[in-house]
Amino acid sequence: MGCGLGKSSWREFELIHKVPISVLVVVHTPELQVLLLERADRPGYWQSVTGSQNEGETLEQTAVREVLEETGLDARQHHLTDWHLSNEYEIFPEWRWRYAPGVTHNTEHVFGLQVAAPIAVKVAPREHLGSVWLPWQEAAQRCFSWSNAAAIRKLQDRRS
């Protein structure tokens, strides 16, 4: 006797733990306009593109995948740069259920993605409510994450 769920539907119910290694991708213009996304699970929480590494992916592959998933942009068509900067931080308690038992910290690797000008993005509705382009100072202030705000503040020093 089945419950009517097909094989692909069962995957939605499987518990897959996130890898505690992630990327943070600061999407910006040469004039330092920065793209922020509002989290769907926490309205009012603004951030850059972020996401956990999948098994077998390089950090660059993770960055390219997350940018595509969260904005619809193909990072390979723009200027993606590994900043060779990482942050370790404690995972917010409300999000620890996504990780294996006992995992409390994540290592985040920072990338920059320069686009020519502010462009429309297509946010993933299950992840984000909307997007906004802001001057870097305002974007840094709006971020809920200290590491995201710090990365945005580094933009002025990274100008090419």
Minimum mean pLDDT range among 25-29, 62-66, 101-105, 155-159: 155-159
Check if the beta carbon of residue 134 is closer than 8 Å to that of residue 36. yes
- 110 belongs to a structural domain: yes
pLDDT category, 22, cuts 50, 70, 90? very high
Report the Cα–Cα distance between both ends of the chain, in Å, rounded.
64
Dihedral of the CA atoms 45, 48, 52, 56 (nearest 10)? 170
Neighbours of 49 (CB within 10 A): 27
- 12 belongs to a structural domain: no
- 4 belongs to a structural domain: no
Minimum mean pLDDT range among 66-70, 89-93, 150-154, 155-159: 155-159
CATH number of the domain to which 99 belongs: 3.90.79.10
- The pTM (predicted TM-score) of the whole model is 0.86
pLDDT at 152 > cutoff 90: yes
Domain of 112? Answer: 17-158
pLDDT at 159: 64
pLDDT at 64 > cutoff 90: yes
- 3 belongs to a structural domain: no
- 146 belongs to a structural domain: yes
Report the domain count for the chain.
1
pLDDT at 160: 46
- 132 belongs to a structural domain: yes
- 133 belongs to a structural domain: yes
Task: Tell me the pairing of strands 105-114 and 79-90.
Answer: antiparallel
Nearest to 49 by CA among 131, 146, 154, 156: 131
